[in-house]
Amino acid sequence: MSRPLTAIVNLNALRNNLAVARRHASQACVFAVIKANAYGHGLERSALALREADGFALLELDAAVRLRELGLRQRILLLEGYFDMRDLQVMVEYGIDAVVHCHDQIRMLSGLRASDALDIAVKVNTGMNRLGFAGDEFPAALAELRGKEVVRNMMVATHFADADGERGVTWQMEEFRRLTEGSGLPRSAANSAAVLRYPETHFEWVRPGIMLYGCSPFPEKTGAELDLIPAMTLASEIIAVQRLRRGDIVGYGSMFVADREMRIGVVACGYADGYPRHAPNGTPVLVGDRIVPTVGRVSMDMLCVDLSNLSVAGIGSRAVLWGDGNSVENIAHAAGTVGYELLCALAPRVPVIESGK
Ligand SMILES: *Cc1c(COP(=O)(O)O)cnc(C)c1O
């Protein structure tokens, strides 16, 4: 038998979660965001499961080309645009749309032939201060792009810094409205948090990512509360059991010391699989149908759980690290990070199984 750790990707969950996004933004077209290998779920399988989306958004040009080669015909938008002339030519060739966020990218357009055509999303910086033209340079950039023969269709895009948090979106929305109101162009602003919480941000195109994978964008809400289904379940088995006496330790650095007799299960999953090394004692693992706490430091290939109160569990018992019955949000919270980071860091060595075809 091979090592029991697998990531099960539930294609029905992806479809369900896209339907939830559509229900919230029923007037808008949806770019399904599938950057970073579809947040760790696998680019091709995720794109095919989400093929009802109106478009796909990602950053990696080679991945975008693969989508075209798979036969997907909808819009594909590169969220950071192109980095050099070669990228730009490939995008023209494959009909891949580009975010244009800086003057360098506008200049590169002059290197295309007059017969070339490109659809673009002009990015405006409304306060996040990551990508995009500043408010005072945006009108001139837009005018310049309107004058380019190679620019076919345009839309305007921005990104929110705090759609999932307390500050919200109003402060950025005022600027976005002011700059784009008279443009007559389609607009795109909403990430998952804005899709779920702020209908006024939906405009013509929304860009949900994390919610498609069943993970809540909000710190205080789980995916289940939002009708989302986890698309990835990271599951393994107990491969060894140890009996501890009072004073015995578990794992590197003696980070856990038993204060009584205990029964410990060793799970085949560690940080080289993508499980967070910073998960402290007490991080939840679902063994059988019960949540049990981790004990000791997560090592490269294994982690340990307390089975003292779960006598039915032993070697071969199923252990869900995250996913069905043990939400990735909880693991992320315990480890001081977000579900996004855990999902997209799933290690290549973990075999993926598809369910819900
Ligand atoms: C990643 C990304 C999204 C999706 O964000 P989620 O929080 O995962 O929904 C949308 N827009 C841009 C520009 C992004 O980079």
Give residue-wise pLDDT tens across range 335-353.
999 999 999 999 999 999 9
pLDDT > 90? residue 141: yes
Percent of the chain with pLDDT over 90: 99
4/22 Cα distance (integer angstroms): 36
Judged against a pLDDT cut of 80, whether residue 264 lies above it is answered with: yes
The pLDDT confidence band at residue 33, using thresholds 50, 70 and 90, is very high
For a mutational test of ligand 1's pocket, the pick from 207, 212, 343, i.e. the residue with the most ligand atoms closer than 8 A to its C-beta, is: 207
Label residue 1 by pLDDT band (50, 70, 90). Answer: confident
In the reported structure, the alpha carbon of residue 214 is separated from the centroid of ligand 1 by a whole-number distance in angstroms of 14
Cα separation, 215 vs 192, whole angstroms: 10
pLDDT of residue 25: 98
Probe residue for ligand 1, chosen from 33, 100, 160 as the CB with the greatest number of ligand atoms within 8 Å: 33
Residue 355 has pLDDT above 90, yes or no: yes
Average pLDDT over residues 181-209: 97
Extract the tokens encoding 338. 């977000």
> What confidence score (pLDDT) does residue 357 get?
81
In the residue annotation, 252 being an active-site residue is answered as yes
At 114 the three-state DSSP class reads coil
C-alpha pair distances (Å), 49 with each of 16, 97, 217, 227, 357:
10, 21, 21, 18, 8
DSSP, res 95 = T
Report the pLDDT averaged over residues 9-32.
Answer: 98
Give tens-digit pLDDT for 281-321: 999 999 999 999 999 999 999 999 999 999 999 999 999 99
The predicted-structure confidence for 67-77, as pLDDT tens digits, reads as follows 999 999 999 99
For residue 354, the cross-strand partners are 9
Specify the pLDDT at position 234. Answer: 98
* C-alpha to C-alpha distance for 25 and 187, rounded to whole angstroms: 14
CA end-to-end span of the chain: 25
Report the candidate in 32, 73, 16 with the shortest Cα–Cα distance to residue 188: 32
Of ligand 1's atoms, which has the minimum distance to the CA of residue 33?
A: 4
The CA-based angle 355-41-91, given to 5 degrees, is: 125
Please give the structure tokens belonging to residue 106: 């506008």
Beta strand extents in the chain (DSSP E only) = 6-10, 29-33, 55-58, 75-78, 97-100, 118-123, 151-157, 187-188, 205-206, 232-244, 249-250, 256-257, 262-267, 284-287, 290-295, 303-306, 318-322, 352-355
pLDDT of residue 254 exceeding 90: yes
Q: What is the mean pLDDT of residues 76-95?
A: 98
- Pocket, ligand 1, Cβ cutoff 6 A: 33, 35, 79, 159, 191-192, 207-210, 217
Catalytic residue flag (residue 221): no
Average pLDDT over residues 53-58: 98
Which residue type is seen at 95?
Answer: G
pLDDT at 135 over 90: yes
